[in-house]
Amino acid sequence: MLNFFRQQSGSIKNDLLSGLTVALALVPEAIAFAFVAGVSPLIGLYSAFFVGLITALAGGRPGMISGATGAMAVVVVGLVSEYGIEYLFPAVILCGLLQMAAGVGRLGKLIRMVPHPVMLGFVNGLAIVIGLAQLGSFKTLSESGQLVYLTGAPLAWMLGLVGLTMGIIWLLPRLTRAVPASLVAILLVTFIAFGVNRVAGPVNGGHMVATVGDMLQINTQAAAMNPHGGHGVSYAVDTDSEIEPDPQTPVAEANASMSGSLPVPFFLQYSLPPLTWETLQIIFPFALILCGVGLIESLMTMTLIDEITETRGKGNRECLGQGLANVVCGLFGGMGGCAMIGQSLINVNSGGRGRLSGASAAVLLLLFVLFLAPLIEQISMAALVGLMFMVVVGTFEWASLKMFQRMPKSDVLVMLLVAGYTVFMHDLATAVILGVIVSALVFAWKHATHLFTDIKYNEFGSKIYQLHGPLFFASVSSFKEMFDVANDPEDVVIDFYYTRVYDQSGLEAINALAEKYEGQGKRLHLTHLSPECRQLLDKAGDLVEVNLSEDPQYHVATDRLG
- Would you say residue 556 lies in a domain? no
* Residue that wins the pLDDT comparison between 179 and 382: 382
DSSP class of residue 252 equals: P
What is the torsional sign of CA 159, 163, 169, 175? negative
Q: What pLDDT is stored for residue 131 in this prediction? A: 85
Asked whether residue 430 falls in the same domain as residue 455, the answer is no
Asked whether residue 55 falls in the same domain as residue 134, the answer is yes
Average pLDDT over residues 308-332: 92
The boundaries of the domain holding residue 487 are 449-548
The pLDDT tens digits of the residues spanning 350-409 come to 888 899 999 999 999 999 999 988 888 888 999 988 988 888 888 788 888 888 878 888
Which residues pair with residue 495 across a beta bridge? 466, 527
Asked whether residue 428 falls in the same domain as residue 470, the answer is no
Long-range contacts: 442-451, Cβ < 8 Å, 24+? 442/410, 442/414, 444/472, 444/473, 444/474, 445/474, 446/410, 447/472, 447/474, 447/475, 448/474, 448/475, 448/477, 448/478, 449/475, 449/478, 450/475, 451/475, 451/478, 451/479, 451/482, 451/499
Asked whether residue 385 falls in the same domain as residue 524, the answer is no
Q: Please give the Cα distance from 235 to 118 (Å, whole number).
A: 28
Band (238; pLDDT cuts 50, 70, 90):
very low
Average pLDDT over residues 254-261: 68
Asked whether residue 94 falls in the same domain as residue 142, the answer is yes
Asked whether residue 431 falls in the same domain as residue 327, the answer is yes
- Would you say residue 11 lies in a domain? yes
Lowest mean pLDDT among 40-49, 242-251, 325-334, 423-432: 242-251
Tell me the average pLDDT of the chain.
Answer: 82
- Would you say residue 442 lies in a domain? no
Based on the structure, what is the number of domains in the chain? 2
- Would you say residue 559 lies in a domain? no
The pLDDT tens digits of the residues spanning 473-494 come to 888 988 988 999 999 998 888 8
- Would you say residue 561 lies in a domain? no
Band (256; pLDDT cuts 50, 70, 90):
low
Asked whether residue 412 falls in the same domain as residue 477, the answer is no
Asked whether residue 143 falls in the same domain as residue 221, the answer is yes
Q: Domain containing 484 — which CATH number?
A: 3.30.750.24
- Would you say residue 412 lies in a domain? yes
- Would you say residue 333 lies in a domain? yes
Task: Report the percentage of the chain scoring pLDDT > 70.
Answer: 86
Band (311; pLDDT cuts 50, 70, 90):
confident
Helix axes 212-225, 381-395, angle to 10 degrees: 100
Asked whether residue 515 falls in the same domain as residue 373, the answer is no
Asked whether residue 166 falls in the same domain as residue 270, the answer is yes
Q: What pLDDT is stored for residue 416 in this prediction? A: 92
Q: What pLDDT is stored for residue 353 in this prediction? A: 87
Residue 57 has pLDDT above 90, yes or no: yes
Q: How many residues does the chain have?
A: 562
- Would you say residue 367 lies in a domain? yes
Asked whether residue 16 falls in the same domain as residue 100, the answer is yes
Asked whether residue 369 falls in the same domain as residue 464, the answer is no
Q: What pLDDT is stored for residue 275 in this prediction? A: 84
